[in-house]
Amino acid sequence: MPPLHELPLRAKLVLGGLVLLLLLAPLFAVLTGDAYLLRLAQRIVIYGLAAAALDLVLGVAGLVSFGHGAFLGLGAYVVGIAFTHGFEGSTFLGLEPSQDLLVLAPLAMLVAALFAFSTGLICLRTRGVAFIMITLAFAQMLFFFFVSLERYNGDDGVALWSRNDLAGTSLAADETWFYLLALACLLLFLLLGLRALDARFGRVLRAAKENERRMLTLGFAVQRYRLAAFVLSGAVTGLAGVLLANQSYFVSPAAMSWQSSGHLIVMVVLGGLGTLIGPVLGAAAFLLLEDLTPPLMDLLVPGFGQHWKLLLGPILIGVALLARRGLLGLLLGTGRG
């Protein structure tokens, strides 16, 4: 995807329309009187943030990470652990956990970034299938670790009775404000991420994806750039985990499972690799399919709605064959080829 200022008018209109739709989602929910639509929009924005963060590694750097669910779960568990000790009036590691997002969000990003850095040092020594399997292995290790923690209810997870505060103000009272907070995080990441892709950082990642040997010959420390992308991606996915825990009022090891990582990969591929914006479209398409397809299938074939994912395979095959640049490519008129 070219820099924003180089996009043709049609592309700018499409992207502007997408942002406008996201901004108008709360108004649409109010006009229809359906609060569920706003909660669905919250999930789309949050998963869009996680998918866009994964795209930095998968689409831009060309590294197929099958363990990004670990970062999503780590961010969520920072919220869950803080809530558990705050509810009980106990301390964690001798400290009284804060319930404010201004503390928990940076902490979650730091925890996820440290995990990404420590595992990335090992994972990035490999390529291809080996990289996929090692990232999956680290995520599954973390998954089973949290399943074994009876202190935090194991695989039953942690139920949250309320959302975190933001600068002392509760986010539980108004769904619209929470949505706008999640949307602000997404738009800020997209803005900074697209600028980074236009800069030397993004150009080196893309060039190394195409020809690593040439970049090494030119003197670029490719591994450092990839590690930086992996850590940044992990940190932002951890932030998405914080928002997801607050949105669903629940924290579970399931967020770290291989299925969770697989869903994020599907969103990226469906929306468009290497674009950052495309995965947001992919997240919207995936979650809308998940929400709308089961009742439609039940109408056609009673009891068949639970098998809605049978439709996902043909859809992905169709996107791969007819829209190699994903849904965003179709909208921008560059979907083929």
Q: What is the mean pLDDT of residues 239-251?
A: 93
Rounded Cα distance, 41 and 203, in Å: 33
Model confidence band, residue 335 (pLDDT cutoffs 50, 70, 90): low
Rounded Cα distance, 322 and 293, in Å: 22
Stronger pLDDT, 279 or 172, i.e. the higher one: 279
pLDDT digits (tens, 9 = 90+) for 119-136: 999 999 988 899 999 999
Q: Which residues contact 196 (CB under 8 A, 6 or more apart)?
A: 202
Rounded Cα distance, 142 and 161, in Å: 25
pLDDT digits (tens, 9 = 90+) for 34-58: 778 888 889 999 999 999 999 999 9
In the three-class reduction of DSSP (H, G, I as helix; E, B as strand; rest coil), residue 9 is classed as: helix
Q: What is the mean pLDDT of residues 142-154?
A: 90
pTM of the model: 0.90
Structure-derived torsion over alpha carbons of residues 270, 276, 277, 283, reported in degrees to the nearest 10: 40
Q: Show the 3-state SS of 229-262.
A: HHHHHHHHHHHHHHHHHHHHCEECHHHHCHHHHH
In the three-class reduction of DSSP (H, G, I as helix; E, B as strand; rest coil), residue 214 is classed as: helix
State how far the alpha carbon of 312 is from the alpha carbons of 15, 178, 293, in Å: 25, 30, 10
Q: What is the mean pLDDT of residues 290-301?
A: 77
Q: Residue 206's pLDDT is what? A: 92
pLDDT digits (tens, 9 = 90+) for 70-111: 999 999 999 999 988 877 667 776 666 778 899 899 999 999
In the three-class reduction of DSSP (H, G, I as helix; E, B as strand; rest coil), residue 157 is classed as: coil
Of 313, 249, 326, the residue nearest 52 (C-alpha): 326
State how far the alpha carbon of 185 is from the alpha carbons of 42, 113, 119, 237, 240, in Å: 12, 17, 25, 11, 9
Mean pLDDT (the chain, rounded) = 85
pLDDT digits (tens, 9 = 90+) for 150-160: 888 888 888 88
Q: Residue 97's pLDDT is what? A: 74
Model confidence band, residue 337 (pLDDT cutoffs 50, 70, 90): very low
The CA-CA-CA angle for residues 215, 196, 286, to 5°, reads 105
